[in-house]
Chain A
Amino acid sequence: EVQVVETGGGLMQPGGSLRLSCAASGFTVSSNYMTWVRQAPGKGLEWVSVIYSDGSTAYADSVKGRFTISRDNSKNTLYLQINSLRAEDTAVYHCARGRPNWYFDLWGRGTLVTVSS
């Protein structure tokens, strides 16, 4: 089955770090561009980051410098490293597969990150 499954969320302290994982099956992560999108409680979807097949990356201004997107080709898994966690990082984080012409055709159900003291 073609799918992506996110893990790694939880209750975190402000200032802490966290790494989210997105395990893919049925397709090769490194052959596609992959993205992270988050949704804060009661808010809309917010694009966070993208990694292309050539390994280049891009980030939303709101997370630049604190978030790092990466992948492990041997594990067919996408990651999102989040440092210096803030309360405003509280959200469900979805990973998604990108298609040519800039749309996302395969999404996971997400993993919840809660940042609170």
Chain B
Amino acid sequence: QSALTQPPSASGSPGQSVTISCTGTSSDVGGYSFVSWYQHLPGKAPKVMIYEVSKRPSGVPDRFSGSKSGNTASLTVSGLQAEDEGDYYCSSYAGSNNHVFGTGTKVTVL
């Protein structure tokens, strides 16, 4: 149950796009289409932004999109806004009733 690997940080200016990668193995990310992404602001409850690799829950702006290729999933935030600043975590089902989260990426809006 090793954590999925994410870059520690990502940044962009308002209006630009930022993409966060999430690398796992064939036992988690590569083996299932059950990758989700969460935004976590300090002191707040995490919020799901993407589920099942690329689906957006109701209320999440379409600026957020997800994809997957092999053992790596990605979250792209287009048209970056100041309110997008925060920590982002990927998560994947890992079989045998286990789940695993990513190491987290701090997104900064310059």
Q: In angstroms, how far is the closest chain A Cβ from the Cβ of B30?
A: 15
CB-nearest residue of chain B to A46: B101
Report the number of A-B residue pairs with Cβ-Cβ less than 8 Å.
69
Band of interface residues on A: 20 to 34
Whether, in the assembled complex, A31 has its beta carbon less than 8 Å from a beta carbon of chain B, the answer is: no
B 33-84 contacts with A by CB, 8 A: 34, 36, 38, 40, 43-48, 51-52, 57
Contacts of A35 in B (CB 8 A): 99
Given contacts A44-B89, A102-B34, A107 and B102 within 8 Å (CB-CB): no
Q: Which residue of B lies closest to A56 (CB)?
A: B97
B101 touches A45 (CB 8 A): yes
Query: How far apart are the CA atoms of A104 and B52 in the complex, in Å?
Result: 11
- A96 partner residues in chain B, CB cutoff 8 A: 46
Distance, CA A103 to CA B96, complexed state (A): 15
Give the CA-CA distance A62 to B103 in the complex, in Å.
16
Q: Given the complex, which residues of A lie within 8 Å of B40, measured CB to CB?
A: 45
Most buried by A among B51, B93, B103, B104: B51
Chain A residue with Cβ nearest B100: A47
Q: How far is the CA of A50 from the CA of B96 in the complex (A)?
A: 12
A residues apposed to B, CB below 8 Å:
35, 37, 44-47, 50, 52, 56, 58, 60-62, 94, 96, 99, 101-105, 107-110
Which B residues contact A (CB, under 8 angstroms)?
A: 1, 3, 32, 34, 36, 38, 40, 43-48, 51-52, 57, 89, 91-93, 96-104
Between A and B, 28 residue pairs with Cβ closer than 8 Å are A37-B46, A44-B103, A45-B46, A45-B89, A45-B101, A47-B91, A47-B101, A58-B96, A60-B98, A61-B1, A62-B1, A94-B46, A99-B51, A101-B52, A102-B32, A102-B34, A102-B36, A102-B92, A102-B99, A103-B34, A103-B48, A103-B52, A104-B38, A104-B48, A107-B47, A108-B45, A109-B45, A110-B45
